[in-house]
């Protein structure tokens, strides 16, 4: 079996990659926080790791990142982790003879759009998206016939417990058992189930081609439907009402980000498709996994 070094092993995506693909690859997890996996290397700083850790490794998967956080506005902080570290790791990997480097990227590189594909022009609107785009572009320039670089750009991830992003915030909101203004939230958005993302990562590695890939579930969902699925998983029914269009327009002027995420459309046209990777039943399953985590954490 191929030997895989996962950097950022304590991250949500990394833990799911290791736990779901452990029968296909031999993993070593490089992490600053203990994960409990068998082959684990604890480090204080990813920039000071010994080059020898990359010896006899076939694949490196980079899951390190600072995601977009309103409290962190310093562009240099995002660049340090999302760009400079990615290039540092890829350089060490390439020098050690690693065959493949898989970078977990994001659709944030496209900025604020309602439809996107791999041909969509990248126009990131925040330090997170800009730093991830810089990394993608620099990594692909490092690619060669003997060093395959794969950049995976997923939309919001759900399922598997405490998934990153706003899905857990929506679960928390629904659990307040108050009427919610999503009765006319009919615009569809694309998400991706964590287990579907893991399968796409494996599929891209098997294709062994340097490229950026946008991926998603094979179905879209409205915020209205999403709230109803969350409600069902929590065990009660949420009353929904509709916001008048003029109030929605006013809210969009004050809080455009919130309106975009809850009422806006996001349709992703993937360039890495594989039949059978996901189904609508996965959404209910994934939401149930997150609700269980939420309830076990004492809400």
Radius of gyration of the chain (CA): 20
Distance CA 269, CA 246 (A): 31
The phi and psi torsions of 267 (rounded to 5 degrees) equal -110, 120
For the cut 90, the answer to whether the pLDDT of residue 251 exceeds it is no
3-state helix, strand, coil in the chain (%, to 5): 40, 15, 40
| pLDDT one-digit tens code per residue, 128-167 | 999 999 999 999 999 999 999 999 999 999 999 989 888 9
Strand ranges, E, within the chain: 2-7, 25-31, 40-42, 59-62, 100-104, 115-116, 148-153, 157-158, 188-189, 192-193, 211-214, 221-222, 267-268
Distance CA 120, CA 115 (A): 8
Distance CA 104, CA 37 (A): 20
Residue-level pLDDT at 254: 64
Q: Counting beta carbons within 10 angstroms of the beta carbon of residue 102, is it exposed (0 to 12), middle (13 to 18) or buried (19 or more)? A: buried
| pLDDT one-digit tens code per residue, 18-50 | 999 999 999 999 999 888 888 899 999 999 999
| pLDDT one-digit tens code per residue, 156-206 | 999 999 898 889 999 999 999 999 999 988 999 999 999 999 999 999 999
Residue-level pLDDT at 66: 86
């Amino acid at each position: 079996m191929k030997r895989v070094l996962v950097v950022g092993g304590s991250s949500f995506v990394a833990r799911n990659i290791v736990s779901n693909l452990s029968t296909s690859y031999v993993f070593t997890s490089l992490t600053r926080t203990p994960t409990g996996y068998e082959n684990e290397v604890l480090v204080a700083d990813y920039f000071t790791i010994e080059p020898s850790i990359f010896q006899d490794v076939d694949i490196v998967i980079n899951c390190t990142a600072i995601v977009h956080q309103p409290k962190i506005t310093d562009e240099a902080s995002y660049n340090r982790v999302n760009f400079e570290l990615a290039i540092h790791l890829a350089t060490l990997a390439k020098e050690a003879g690693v065959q493949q480097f898989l970078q977990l990227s994001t659709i944030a590189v496209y900025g604020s759009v309602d439809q996107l594909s791999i041909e969509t022009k990248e126009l990131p609107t925040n330090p997170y998206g800009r730093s991830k785009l810089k990394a993608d572009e620099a990594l692909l320039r490092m690619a060669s016939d003997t060093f395959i670089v794969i950049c995976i750009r997923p939309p919001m991830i759900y399922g598997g417990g405490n998934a990153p992003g706003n899905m857990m915030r929506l679960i928390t909101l629904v659990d307040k058992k108050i009427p919610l203004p999503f009765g006319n939230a009919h615009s569809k958005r694309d998400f991706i189930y964590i287990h579907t993302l893991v399968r796409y990562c494996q599929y891209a590695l098997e294709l062994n081609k340097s490229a950026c890939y946008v991926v998603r579930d094979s179905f879209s969902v409205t915020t209205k439907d999403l709230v109803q699925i969350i409600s069902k998983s929590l065990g009660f029914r949420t009353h929904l009402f509709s916001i008048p269009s003029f109030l929605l327009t006013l809210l969009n002027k004050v809080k455009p980000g919130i309106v975009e995420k809850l009422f806006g459309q996001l349709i992703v046209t993937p360039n890495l498709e594989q039949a059978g990777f996901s189904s609508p039943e996965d959404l209910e399953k994934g939401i149930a996994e997150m609700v269980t985590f939420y309830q076990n954490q004492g809400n």
